[in-house]
Amino acid sequence: MELKKTTRRTFLRNMAVSAAAISITPVPASACMTIDTIKGNVPMKKRDVKHVLVLWYSQTGNTERMGRLISKTLEKRGITVTASEMREFDLSHFPDVDLIIAGSPVFYYDTPDYAKKWIDAMPDLKGTPVAAYVTYGGPEGNQHNAACSILRHLSDRGGVPVGLKWFMNMSTFPLAWSEEKVHHKTWMSRDLPNENTYKDARAYASFLVSQVEQGKDSVFSKKLTLREMSIFFGPEWWTKKIVKNHSIDKDKCIQCGTCVDKCPAHAIDIDQFKIDRKSCVLCFGCINNCPVQAVTMTYNGEKVSGYPEFMKQKKLKIIEPEELQG
């Protein structure tokens, strides 16, 4: 019985670890089959770029940082920018803009469902040029396809795609750090965003403006890759099986509500110090944002560290782009 239990646990662990490993195994794009072609379905609303809407879904700040940097770059060119986290944006007051740029992290090889649903709730975009970006944490992480997912949802709302980009960031997937600690594996990147990442973001902002000004829309294709196929097996479901004791420590919790705000699944009842594991999507937004380390969980019998704690332990510090300093 004990053997069976251990074997099952090992199997589940290996599944999750393999899934994560897949995310860093390069697959040549040319070897892949197109599974979705994304293009505008209506003529592009072409005009001078005077007002841009920049939206992001961000759990630990990487995607927000790139969104803010893109916004600052556009503002420097004299463009009016409305920039916001999706969760804080009032969809009922949707501005008439000349370009929409939407970003999200890559979670489990795709754009998180929350971001997709949010885009689906947008009003008809009537040919507005749209662009996507993702931030991701491994040398390869299905980032092209994840960004395509954002564009797919934007074009379904009537947007006309003009660009797509991904920015490498440190992985905020806490099990990667635990694997590193327990098995001394370093296959998950610890790369922090740096000046090169910021240069790319500034260049992307300018590129998008010129695309719109020239009326150049683009066609993007989602490829069938190993990582794309692994989405079918529900990597978050596997991961949920191997994470244990996901709970809130009553003695440490200050009931600030940060975890509640971050949880896209409304799985946290802070008054009762309870997490509904059934509805939880294991995005780690709670543990990665708790200011007092009151959210706990174990993996492989080890306590999992959240993002701020890990950064502190490893003395890692992100140097912000100069536009966002101060």
Given phi > 0 = left and psi -120 to 50 = alpha, else beta, which region is 221?
A: beta
Question: Does residue 67 interact with ligand FMN by CB under 6 A?
Answer: no
Task: Examine residue 71 and tell whether it contacts ligand FMN (CB under 6 A).
Answer: no
Letters for 201-240 (x = contact with ligand FMN by CB under 6 A, - = none) are: ----------------------------------------
Contact 38, 156 (CB under 8 A): no
Of the candidates 70, 46, 69, 244, which has an alpha carbon nearest to the alpha carbon of residue 127? 46
Residue with tokens 């290996």: 14
310 binds ligand FMN (CB under 6 A): no
| Nearest distance in Å: CB 170, ligand FMN | 6
Q: Which is nearer to ligand FMN, 160 or 243 (CB)?
A: 243
Is residue 197 within the footprint of ligand FMN (CB under 6 A)? no
**Of 106, 160, 205, 243, which lies in the binding site for ligand FMN, with binding defined by CB under 6 A?**
106
Q: How far apart are CA 158 and CA 127, in angstroms?
A: 6
Using rule CB under 6 A, residue 264 touches ligand FMN: no
- Binding of ligand FMN by 141 (CB under 6 A): yes
Binding-residue total with ligand FMN (CB under 6 A): 26
Choose, by CB under 6 A, the member of 49, 62, 198, 201 that binds ligand FMN: 62
64-89 burial, b at 16+ Cβ within 10 Å, e below that, comes to bbbbbbbbbbbeeeebebebbebeeb
Is residue 74 within 8 Å of residue 205, measured between CB atoms?
yes
Among 40, 61, 161, 321, the residue binding ligand FMN under the rule CB under 6 A is 61
If 0-12 CB within 10 Å is exposed, 13-18 middle and 19+ buried, where does residue 273 land? middle
216/152 Cα distance (integer angstroms): 18
Binder of ligand FMN out of 13, 23, 155, 258 (CB under 6 A): 23
- Among residues 169, 233, 239, 226, which one has the least CA distance to residue 22? 226
CB of 281 to ligand FMN, least distance (A): 8
Choices 85-93, 170-178, 213-221, 257-265; region in contact with ligand FMN by CB under 6 A: 170-178
60 binds ligand FMN (CB under 6 A): yes
| CB 175 to ligand FMN: min, Å | 9
Closest residue to ligand FMN, Cβ-based?
141
The piece of 163-171, 196-204, 211-219, 263-271 that touches ligand FMN (CB under 6 A) is: 163-171
Helix (H, G, I), strand (E, B) or coil at 165: strand
Return the number of the residue (270 or 311) whose C-beta is nearest ligand FMN: 311
Segment contacting ligand FMN by CB under 6 A, of 123-131, 132-140, 155-163, 294-302 = 132-140
Query: Smallest gap, in angstroms, from Cβ of residue 169 to ligand FMN?
Result: 4
- Please tell me the distance from the alpha carbon of residue 247 to that of residue 207, in angstroms, as a whole number: 45
Q: Are strands 243-248 and 295-299 parallel, antiparallel or unpaired?
A: antiparallel
Cβ atoms of 244 and 297 closer than 8 Å: yes
Q: Please report how close the Cβ of residue 271 comes to ligand FMN at its closest, in angstroms.
A: 26
The length of the chain is 326
DSSP letters for 248-267: E-TTT-----HHHHH-TT--
By CB under 6 A, residue 289 contacts ligand FMN = no
**Which residues lie near ligand FMN (CB under 6 A)?**
23, 58-64, 105-109, 135-138, 141-142, 169-173, 283-284
